[in-house]
Structure 1
Amino acid sequence: MTQANTKQAKSPTGLSRLLWRAPIWFYRFNLGWLLTGRMMLINHIGRKSGKPRQNVVEVARYDKATNTRYVCSGFGQQSHWYRNLEAHPDVTIQTAGKKLAVHAKLLSPDESADEMQRYVEHNPKLIKELLRVVGYDVPDSMQGYRQLAHDKMPFVAFIPR
């Protein structure tokens, strides 16, 4: 296996942050349905401020049987939305015009590795592009992807309450 980028990806700042946050406006104007079922809006509470916060994230996997959505924190555990979920796991989400009250379960490193494997198996081209955009080297094996999720890219399960 080649040496992977071991640095934690940094959250976007400045203009790139503005671009990453642009999809929120689709949901604010009731146009979230335009973003397809792969995206969802998380309405959460700031861990320090106690104020409402929002983030749009990609749904890595949807389990229809349990109505559970799985999301990866591409910028790791230091992402504000991820840290806010640690403090306040009961949130609401919006997908394609539907709102749902959920509990955000932070998955273990091993569970995150399993979810990453599922994602890579179903989206082999997309994962490579996403990792490049976020700033990671693309692993050359499934074990490399699993290790990346295990160490740096935790997953969250959004389970209906």
Structure 2
Amino acid sequence: MPDRDTAPRRPPLPTGWRRLALRLPVLLYRAGLGPLFGKRLLLLHHTGRVSDRDHMTVLEVVSYDSAESTWTVASGFGPGADWYLNLRAQPKTLIRFGNRPRAVTAHFLPPEDGAEIMAGYACRRPRTARRLCAFMGLPVDGGEASFREAGRVIPFVRLEAADGYGQATRGHR
């Protein structure tokens, strides 16, 4: 059984127009157009573990629980993604969901939780789940068992709102 540290391969980082296309949602969030993404994407603020500079990354929301004020995201670039490593170093941060800022704390989920999350995600979004697995070099045959196995390898992070509804304040960082 593979674990998160032995993922088959880290996908290459995008360059050129693909990098620009992936950064476009950040610009749209900064322009106040976050609600265009509905409940599908969120903007994550994270502090560089080396540079101590503020960074922003838009991530797909794998699951959202409005009652608990939690968002679950996956690291498509594996455990070596900068945002993932930055959250490991400093798990308290801010997100923007729609146009609403929230103070959150990151919790890194164990592989068995990842298996459950990925199986559920594959039921809700089968094409996107297959693409994520292919992007990461994980073999899936479309069956639930193969998505569960992929979920054991993909790093998942649950972002929990601080202070009940998690209203962010200016002095958070």
Provide the TM-score with structure 2 as the length reference.
0.82
Query: Which amino acid counterpart does residue 37 of structure 1 have in structure 2?
Result: K
Query: RMSD in angstroms over aligned alpha carbons?
Result: 1.7
Q: How far apart are the structure 1 equivalents of 2:36 and 2:59?
A: 14
Query: Which amino acid counterpart does residue 148 of structure 2 have in structure 1?
Result: R
Query: Which amino acid counterpart does residue 124 of structure 1 have in structure 2?
Result: P
Partner of 2:129: 127
Partner of 2:140: 139
Query: Which amino acid counterpart does residue 105 of structure 1 have in structure 2?
Result: H
Query: Which amino acid counterpart does residue 151 of structure 2 have in structure 1?
Result: A
Q: How far apart are the structure 1 equivalents of 2:9 and 2:48?
A: 26
Quick check: 1:46–1:84 contact (8 Å CA) kept in 2?
Answer: yes
Partner of 1:96: 98
- Post-superposition CA distance 1:81-126 (Å, at most 9, x none): 0011000100100011111000011111111111111111211223
Partner of 2:29: 27
Using the TM superposition, give the Cα deviation of residue 139 of structure 1 relative to its aligned residue in structure 2, in angstroms.
0.3
What fraction of aligned residue pairs are identical, expressed as a percent?
34
Structure 2 gap segments, 5+ residues each: 1-6, 163-173
Partner of 1:73: 75
Q: What SS class does the counterpart of residue 22 from structure 1 fall into?
A: helix
Partner of 2:20: 18
Pair 137,110 (structure 1): closer, same or farther in 2 beyond 3 Å: closer
Partner of 2:9: 7
Q: How far apart are the structure 2 equivalents of 1:15 and 1:77?
A: 24
- Post-superposition CA distance 1:16-51 (Å, at most 9, x none): 222211110011111111122110000110111000
Partner of 1:106: 108
Using the TM superposition, give the Cα deviation of residue 14 of structure 1 relative to its aligned residue in structure 2, in angstroms.
3.5
Match runs of 1:48-59 below 5 Å: 48-59=50-61
Quick check: 1:39–1:56 contact (8 Å CA) kept in 2?
Answer: yes
Q: How far apart are the structure 2 equivalents of 1:14 and 1:155?
A: 27
Q: How far apart are the structure 2 equivalents of 1:43 and 1:144?
A: 32
Query: Which amino acid counterpart does residue 56 of structure 2 have in structure 1?
Result: Q
